[in-house]
């Protein structure tokens, strides 16, 4: 039986998520970057003073961390586990009748976006489906087992020599597509490589990403993906 001292404090996390302004701030931080109090206040549509109070509550719930650099305080999500929790909550948050409306409102973010440190949206789902179809990934015990293949090297992925405690590739339910995309260290390497090669570019203050011409050609060549059919031109 779980003792009081060991009981998870869901009430603290629940309180932190119970305000729309705070959830908007958390969504802003879901691209994995750090933002100032002023930037998050603007994203949430609140005053700087109100934002400071909201951010303090999020810090107390261990959902974000704050770092002072010069005269500014930068806020970011505490870790990947928090990002994964938020993404999974987003799957169940809208009702089915609101799903398509929510996706239209998401616009560009719903098509190509980052989910903390990995790709999400229709393109990420299509890439994951290709990984599975080609035998590069296999669902196994709640994780993805990774198989060697030349595609990984072309996508900038270095496979581990031996398995660690944490899965190298995790299935992550995509909140707009209701299908799995890949996260974990593998997903992080794919996104990092795409950004370094100029296949994708970050949009200002949003989780949305722009897929460039070279990126479209690379994914066509490596995974036989027709990106024009997946996302708007």
Among residues 89, 123, 151, 86, which one has the least CA distance to residue 209?
123
pLDDT digits (tens, 9 = 90+) for 120-166: 889 999 999 999 999 999 988 778 999 999 999 999 999 998 766 77
Farthest-apart Cα atoms in the chain, separation: 57
What string of pLDDT tens digits covers the 233 residues of the chain? 555 557 788 888 889 999 989 998 998 888 778 889 998 999 899 998 999 999 999 999 999 999 888 788 899 898 888 888 888 787 777 544 334 434 444 444 457 888 888 998 899 999 999 999 999 999 887 789 999 999 999 999 999 987 667 789 989 888 778 788 999 999 999 999 999 999 999 886 567 889 999 999 999 999 999 988 777 64
Domain boundaries, the chain: 9-78, 82-230
Q: What is the pLDDT of residue 68?
A: 83
Read off φ and ψ for residue 178, nearest 5 degrees. 60, 30
Q: pTM value?
A: 0.69
d(CA 143, CA 78): 23
Q: What is the pLDDT of residue 94?
A: 54
Question: What is the domain class of 9-78 according to CATH?
Answer: mainly alpha
Q: What is the pLDDT of residue 55?
A: 94
d(CA 175, CA 93): 9
**C-beta of residue 27 within 8 angstroms of C-beta of residue 33:** no
């Amino acid at each position: 039986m779980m003792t009081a001292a060991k009981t998870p404090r869901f009430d603290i996390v629940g309180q932190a998520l119970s305000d729309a302004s705070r959830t908007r701030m958390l969504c802003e931080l879901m691209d994995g970057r750090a933002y100032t109090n002023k930037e998050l206040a603007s994203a949430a549509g609140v005053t700087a003073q109100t934002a400071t109070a909201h951010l303090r509550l999020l810090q107390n719930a261990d959902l974000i961390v704050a770092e002072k650099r010069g005269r500014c305080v930068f806020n970011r999500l505490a870790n990947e586990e928090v990002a994964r929790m938020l993404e999974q909550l987003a799957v169940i948050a809208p009702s089915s009748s609101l799903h398509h409306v929510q996706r239209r409102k998401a616009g560009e973010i719903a098509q190509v976006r980052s989910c903390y440190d990995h790709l999400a949206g229709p393109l990420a789902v299509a890439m994951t489906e290709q990984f599975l179809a080609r035998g590069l990934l296999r669902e196994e015990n709640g994780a993805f087992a990774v198989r060697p293949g030349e595609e990984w090297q072309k996508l900038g992925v270095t496979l581990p020599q031996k398995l660690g405690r944490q899965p190298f590739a995790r299935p992550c339910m995509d909140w707009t597509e209701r299908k799995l995309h890949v996260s974990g260290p593998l997903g992080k390497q794919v996104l990092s490589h795409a950004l370094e090669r100029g296949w994708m570019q970050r949009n200002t203050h949003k989780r949305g990403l722009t897929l460039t011409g070279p990126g479209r050609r690379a994914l066509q060549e490596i995974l036989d993906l027709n990106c024009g059919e997946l996302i708007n031109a």
